[in-house]
Chains A and B, each alone.
Chain A
């Protein structure tokens, strides 16, 4: 499966990129697995707990990801 991962604001600053493609052998994976991969890859620990995740433009806590999904790691909102 292929996922598009997007980063914004403080998260993009920490990862040093705004977007990447993730290729996995599995046909599907859950959000927790993706979060663990992300924390391992970037060496981020609990200080990123305020990060919310949107899958295909909708915030979610738990879901099964399918190939083609767009996953965004979003820091706290600051509009206004």
Chain B
């Protein structure tokens, strides 16, 4: 990957528009698919999540993300793929995860995007502490 996949804090909207703009010079692309993960105000035992604090085993997570990106590009014949994930605090309503896939036609871009999101959730050592309004917390587990 040409730049780090990790962003301190929420993924800014500019990161998404910049990524789209950067791919406009690749004229062989006919379809982009993108996934945005947003922090949800889950309710647990009457308490509401206000933010998630993300951390990662960065050395391993970086390698796993790159492996998944390369595998996805190769299996789906993509022209490009990008992934960004937040570290640190991301408040409810903010974006914590951005996956972007580009191909000649829509089907490959759509399927690859879904595959990449699932693989990252399953295989990349990222951890999330859900913070409640009373400052107590619980650890998020992907299902």
Interface segment among B53-61, B71-79, B106-114: the answer is B53-61
Give B5 Cβ to nearest chain A Cβ, in Å.
Answer: 11
B121 touches A75 (CB 8 A): no
Closest to A70 in B: B59
Residues A77 and B142 in contact, CB atoms below 8 Å apart: yes
Among B57, B97, B128, which residue has the most Cβ atoms of chain A within 10 A? B57
- B-side interface size class: 20 to 34
Asked whether, in the complex, the Cβ of B126 is within 8 Å of the Cβ of A78, the reply is: yes
Q: Interface extent on A, as a size class?
A: 10 to 19
Residue of A nearest to B118 (CB): A80
- A10 touching B127 in the complex, CB below 8 Å, given contacts A75-B139, A77-B121, A79-B85: yes
Residues of A within 8 A of B122 (CB): 77
Listed from nearest, the 5 A-B pairs whose CB atoms lie closest are A9-B127, A79-B126, A78-B128, A78-B140, A57-B60
Q: Tell me if A8 counts as interface (CB < 8 A to partner B).
A: yes
Q: Bound complex: CA of A57 vs CA of B63, how far in Å?
A: 8
- A35-74 interface bits toward B, Cβ cutoff 8 Å, 1 = contact, 0 = none: 0000000000000001000100110000000000000101
